[in-house]
Chain A
Amino acid sequence: MSSPPGRRARLSSPGTGRSSSETREELRRRLLGLIEGNRVMIFSKSYCPHSTRVKELFSSLGVECHILELDQVDDGASVQEVLSEITNQRTVPNIFVNKVHMGGCEQTFQAHQSGVLEKLLQGDSAYDYDLIVIGGGSGGLACAQEAAVLGKKVMVLDFVLPSPQGTSWGLGGTCVNVGCIPKKLMHQAALLGQALIDSRKFGWEYNQQVKHNWETMTEAIQNHIGSLNWGYRLSLREKAVAYVNSYGEFVEHHKIKATNRKGQETCYTAAKFVIATGERPRYLGIQGDKEYCITSDDLFSLPYCPGKTLVVGASYVALECAGFLAGLGLDVTVMVRSILLRGFDQEMAEKVGSYMEQHGVKFLRKFVPVMIQQLEKGSPGKLRVVAESTEGPGAVEGVYNTVLLAIGRDSCTRKIGLEKIGVKINEKSGKIPVNDVEQTNVPYVYAIGDILEGKLELTPVAIQAGKLLARRLFGGRLEKCDYINVPTTVFTPLEYGCCGLSEEKAIEVHKKENLEVYHTLFWPLEWTVAGRDNNTCYAKIICNKFDNERVVGFHILGPNAGEVTQGFAAAMKCGLTKQLLDDTIGIHPTCGEVFTTLEITKASGLDITQKGC
């Protein structure tokens, strides 16, 4: 056998006795140094046939490689461990080309066949940009800005395809334009409606019925969104990120075609790409849906009051929209195919639904629409909806001014040329599978946000993932996005905040007999004088009996659930246990304090209703 090409590197290990994290950190730095400092870096074992094939490949390409034979250094095993932390790959050969992790032998040969390897070998300087981010939503913008702060040349491509109803919007993505921000503001409008009712009980005096003006609210909200769009533009400019309002589509490796509103095409190249295109609402695929129905893409900027509304779906989007529309005084019906808030704790979900039902939202369960027909044009017009039972024969029909579809969202991954460069998507869901460093199967292409398979569709998650990705790619940092115990809140009329596992999931993971569930109903002080429902707000924690009663699930249904949940989520990061909850002193009088005095277990079956006070 001829000796493999390239120089041999050896990592001598001073003081093998040191196994502290400090030593490990030092090793990590050395490895990153090797990866950063060499055009091609191969971690190999001298006897491994796959390693030999790779070495021969680079040799045949006339490329000099830096090789570390793990079996020939003292700390080879540690190197392999740290490498597996960095790359999520334990096997050798483990190959880096121009700092991009290629993978093993097979991936390298694939990359060679597809031309990726040659592109990568050309190095960064051959490209227009260090990084192009496709999609200017929360995650994409966070990633782009962080990369720019780290001194990289960055471009963001963002283009909003108008909805079937013709709605489009500015920079910032779903959260800012058609998600969190407008929905929380409309939720706030609905809460203020409740506050107006409460206020009379607290001595504020006015006689006439207070009406709500949809146009005033929408205009105010849209103005705020406009200012946010502008803020994002400004912030990109300040950080010298190139922003192009064009539709991005891969045409070949490292090359993307950007098409603007006028149809003009420009191509850009980059060393690395981040896909952050997010999702758009799904349509039913029945007669009349795209012509006559609206979605959450349209609702928040609807120029007229939607009137009597049918909300189709039971996702959090569906329930939040139905909730605030009812709170603004509209006649609202929710059509549910199966269960409410799939993926959330079902006891909580049912309580969310029953509160809405008690407050005027109608629910049509086990029905799906089969036809939408326009009876009258107008703003709003009149639509006839025919729906069929999911449980057998039987159909209902109804007339509504507006039909809002909220049956789910589809990833924007099928029309961006991913097939041209071989990025794999889940054919069924359209989502992109990535490893734990948000890398797709094509090594220089990464993905973050709602389009990730098996990850959470939440703004703060996307922002965190984007920032950390940029720091790993360009800042020499290692910290990965932690998708565990992410808190969230559903802004239904009675807000639902949670962190950790649902009761169902906890039982699946830990087995019922290992869990203790503590719960209670509670009556917020502000609700007493207002004469609002007693025994409606609910708090629940799920503890692992055999891990010191560690809290694995936190759930609260009540006012300001988001504000309450946030701090507890931080406590869960620190390993919250039931004992610590008991030892913590409450803040009186708040809703949050209820968690410091939980006594009744679900298993005991004891009454949790609050009698008087």
Chain B
Amino acid sequence: MAAALRAPGVRFQWRIRAAAGGARGAAGRQGYDLLVIGGGSGGLACAKEAAQLGKKVAVVDYVEPSPRGTRWGLGGTCVNVGCIPKKLMHQAALLGGMIRDAPHYGWEVPPLVPHDWRKMAEAVQNHVKSLNWGHRVQLQDRKVKYFNIKASFVNEHMVCGVTKDGKETLLSAEHIVIATGGRPRYPTHIEGALEYGITSDDIFWLKESPGKTLVVGASYVALECAGFLTGLGLDATVMVRSIPLRGFDQQMSSLVTEYMASHGTRFLRGCTPSRVGRLPDGQLQVTWEDLASGKKDVGTFDTVLWAIGRVPETRSLHLENAGVNTHPNSQKILVDAGEATSVPHIYAIGDVAEGRPELTPPAVMAGKLLARRLCGQSSDLMDYDNVPTTVFTPLEYGCVGLSEEEAVARHGEEHVEVYHAYYKPLEFTVAERDASQCYIKMVCLREPPQLVLGLHFLGPNAGEVTQGFALGIKCGASYAQVMRTLGIHPTCAEEVAKLRITKRSGLDPTVTGC
């Protein structure tokens, strides 16, 4: 079966090489070794790596404006409307917390310090623009041709690109990588959702403060946005239909939301919106239903932010022209372990590929490894196991490996040992901060040497703490090995190396003293 699929591909390769050589080259039609559709983290990494290895590479990238008209430059979601601006706004919110800590540490700060959204947004946007520029320069340095065009497949080796002004370009390539990512989903059956709502595509580019905000959804995007909005002093409400942070460890996610609730974020649980309308004064009136009681309720907000999920950017690609198959439900592109689609010389990486984590670093690594394989440099496949990540909610949540639920599902409760601790970061003491949700949990196999299956860390700098341990888990660390690691005193991370209490024991997991 595989051989049958591959054979026509090989034949085709030869023909297109000839085209790339110019023999059949028509006007406005250019041949490349590799064409990457989508200039996000994964696509750019793949393109740059291939170019560095001597291939003739082109990247096409086009940002369809959001329904609210927001658009941005090269670099994809992470740089423009994801990781970068959200971590910077999260940092702005954390700084607000530090301003409140400062008087405890002797700084004579005025009691109420207001926040200027405009100033922050401008600074963040300027930084993002500098990154866009940086990506352009990097492509140029590596001789990667960049086209700001919207691409769709003509056939399995040819793509047609349309510029903003409607000019068409045909590009052909031996290998094509689809890395178009995803965009926020709008609800389809809620009146006023599209007209009045915004998404994470817009929030980071708002010139003015969003004011009182309703965030609909309980994905990490929803919680992160609601978290920093609250931290910046805005009135933020999260409307959750079912559970927060689906797919993450549920004990951890309930601690995440508990912390947020105790720091001013409102939660409307078990509710779903039914209508958004504009009031004469410009405010938005949202109607929602309590799913348990069926009762309707109404509230007014300045902004409604949809964060109910993301849809892959596959609709305008005309994948059917190339014969690339997608998942019937998710619409994501089906790929094999080598990132190849149903068409062997067409690949998909990043958020657009079915079953892949929607995270920047795996996309970058997958892109690089794919380029190396295409150039015959290596045969290494991307390993999608144990991908560490961090949710930048007000209290950060870092994790790697399995959630407790998943570990139990895979190995059975009697074979899983969970070590855990509630700890208090030293900096919280003088600042008189509440550390009720600072919690660490290490999920291990119960049989010696107690292989570590998952690590979950809730607390300040969770990303920094988690990174190194992710490596340990990659190395197949056992509980015993982690315990043999001496702590760095005084840090939060050292608490991981001091986990002694098992959940099974029922003992109090609160850390006391040194």
Q: Which residues of A contact B (CB under 8 A)?
A: 138, 172, 175-176, 180-181, 184-185, 188-189, 192-193, 195-196, 198-199, 201-206, 208, 210-218, 220-221, 224, 228, 231-232, 235, 328, 458-461, 463-464, 482, 486-489, 497, 525-526, 528-529, 560, 562-571, 573-576, 580-581, 583-593, 595-596, 611-613
Select B365's contact among A202, A463, A585, beta carbons within 8 Å.
Answer: A585
Inter-chain contacts of A529 with B (CB < 8 A) = 88, 91, 123-124, 127
Question: Is the CB–CB distance between B88 and A458 below 8 Å?
Answer: no
Nearest-CB distance from B342 to chain A (Å)? 26
Question: Is the CB–CB distance between B102 and A569 below 8 Å?
Answer: no
How many A-B pairs have beta carbons closer than 8 Å: the answer is 294
Select A487's contact among B87, B109, B485, B513, beta carbons within 8 Å.
Answer: B485
Contacts A138-B514, A202-B123, A590-B463: A585 and B106 contacting too (C-beta < 8 A)? no
Complex Cα–Cα for A328 and B105 (A) = 10
Question: Is the CB–CB distance between A588 and B481 below 8 Å?
Answer: no
Complex Cα–Cα for A138 and B78 (A) = 45
Question: Is the CB–CB distance between B488 and A566 below 8 Å?
Answer: yes
Inter-chain contacts of A595 with B (CB < 8 A) = 467-468
Select A570's contact among B88, B135, B430, B497, beta carbons within 8 Å.
Answer: B497
Beyond known contacts A487-B488, A529-B88, A592-B464: 5 more, CB 8 A cutoff = A192-B102, A203-B120, A215-B106, A573-B484, A587-B463
Question: Is the CB–CB distance between B475 and A580 below 8 Å?
Answer: yes
Nearest-CB distance from B511 to chain A (Å)? 11
Complex Cα–Cα for A212 and B104 (A) = 11
Inter-chain contacts of B514 with A (CB < 8 A) = 138, 172, 175-176, 228, 459, 463
Select A588's contact among B78, B427, B468, B512, beta carbons within 8 Å.
Answer: B78
- The 8 A CB mask of B244-281 against A (1 = contact, 0 = none) is 00000000000000000000000000000000000000
Chain B at the A interface: mostly helix, strand, loop or mixed? Answer: helix
Chain A at the B interface: mostly helix, strand, loop or mixed? Answer: helix
Question: Is the CB–CB distance between B116 and A213 below 8 Å?
Answer: no
Question: Is the CB–CB distance between A458 and B113 below 8 Å?
Answer: no
Inter-chain contacts of B120 with A (CB < 8 A) = 202-203
Nearest-CB distance from B175 to chain A (Å)? 24
Inter-chain contacts of A189 with B (CB < 8 A) = 105-107
Question: Is the CB–CB distance between A569 and B486 below 8 Å?
Answer: yes
Complex Cα–Cα for A580 and B471 (A) = 7
Nearest first, the 10 closest Cβ-Cβ pairs linking A and B are: A567-B468, A592-B467, A203-B120, A217-B106, A566-B493, A568-B468, A567-B469, A189-B105, A574-B475, A590-B463
What class of interface size applies to chain B in its complex with A?
35 or more
Question: Is the CB–CB distance between B489 and A585 below 8 Å?
Answer: no
Inter-chain contacts of B101 with A (CB < 8 A) = 192
Select A204's contact among B99, B137, B429, beta carbons within 8 Å.
Answer: B99
Question: Is the CB–CB distance between A231 and B481 below 8 Å?
Answer: no
Interface residues of B in 383-428 (CB under 8 A from A): 383, 387-390, 398, 426-427
Question: Is the CB–CB distance between B487 and A460 below 8 Å?
Answer: yes
Complex Cα–Cα for A580 and B473 (A) = 11
Select B87's contact among A180, A574, A589, beta carbons within 8 Å.
Answer: A589
Question: Is the CB–CB distance between B104 and A220 below 8 Å?
Answer: yes
Inter-chain contacts of B463 with A (CB < 8 A) = 587, 589-590, 592
Complex Cα–Cα for A180 and B491 (A) = 10
- The 8 A CB mask of B447-487 against A (1 = contact, 0 = none) is 00000000000000101111111111011110001101111
Select A563's contact among B98, B130, B461, B475, beta carbons within 8 Å.
Answer: B461
Question: Is the CB–CB distance between A204 and B108 below 8 Å?
Answer: no
Nearest-CB distance from B93 to chain A (Å)? 9
Complex Cα–Cα for A184 and B426 (A) = 8
Inter-chain contacts of B117 with A (CB < 8 A) = 203
Question: Is the CB–CB distance between A181 and B426 below 8 Å?
Answer: yes
Question: Is the CB–CB distance between A196 and B107 below 8 Å?
Answer: yes
Complex Cα–Cα for A198 and B102 (A) = 13
Select A568's contact among B106, B389, B471, beta carbons within 8 Å.
Answer: B471
Residue of A nearest to B465 (CB): A563
Nearest-CB distance from B386 to chain A (Å)? 8
Q: Give 22 A-B contacts (CB < 8 Å), ordered by A residue.
A: A172-B514, A184-B490, A188-B105, A188-B430, A189-B107, A193-B107, A203-B119, A204-B92, A204-B99, A210-B108, A211-B107, A212-B108, A235-B512, A529-B88, A564-B468, A565-B468, A566-B497, A569-B486, A571-B469, A589-B83, A589-B87, A592-B467
Inter-chain contacts of A201 with B (CB < 8 A) = 123
Residue from B113, B461, B465, B490 with most neighbouring chain A CB atoms (10 Å): B490
Q: Is B21 in the interface zone, CB < 8 Å from A?
A: no
Question: Is the CB–CB distance between A202 and B490 below 8 Å?
Answer: no
Complex Cα–Cα for A174 and B279 (A) = 64
Inter-chain contacts of B95 with A (CB < 8 A) = 195, 198-199, 202, 204
Inter-chain contacts of A560 with B (CB < 8 A) = 461, 464
Select B361's contact among A213, A565, A569, A588, beta carbons within 8 Å.
Answer: A588
Contacts A210-B107, A566-B497, A575-B475: A180 and B490 contacting too (C-beta < 8 A)? yes
Nearest-CB distance from A184 to chain B (Å)? 5
Nearest-CB distance from B147 to chain A (Å)? 22
Select B513's contact among A231, A461, A570, A575, beta carbons within 8 Å.
Answer: A231
Question: Is the CB–CB distance between A231 and B134 below 8 Å?
Answer: no
Residue from B99, B134, B429 with most neighbouring chain A CB atoms (10 Å): B429
Question: Is the CB–CB distance between A612 and B130 below 8 Å?
Answer: yes
Inter-chain contacts of B121 with A (CB < 8 A) = 203
Complex Cα–Cα for A176 and B113 (A) = 34
Question: Is the CB–CB distance between B92 and A202 below 8 Å?
Answer: yes
Complex Cα–Cα for A184 and B105 (A) = 12
Question: Is the CB–CB distance between B467 and A587 below 8 Å?
Answer: yes
Complex Cα–Cα for A291 and B513 (A) = 35
Complex Cα–Cα for A583 and B470 (A) = 11
Residue from A204, A220, A228, A488 with most neighbouring chain B CB atoms (10 Å): A204
Inter-chain contacts of A489 with B (CB < 8 A) = 488, 491
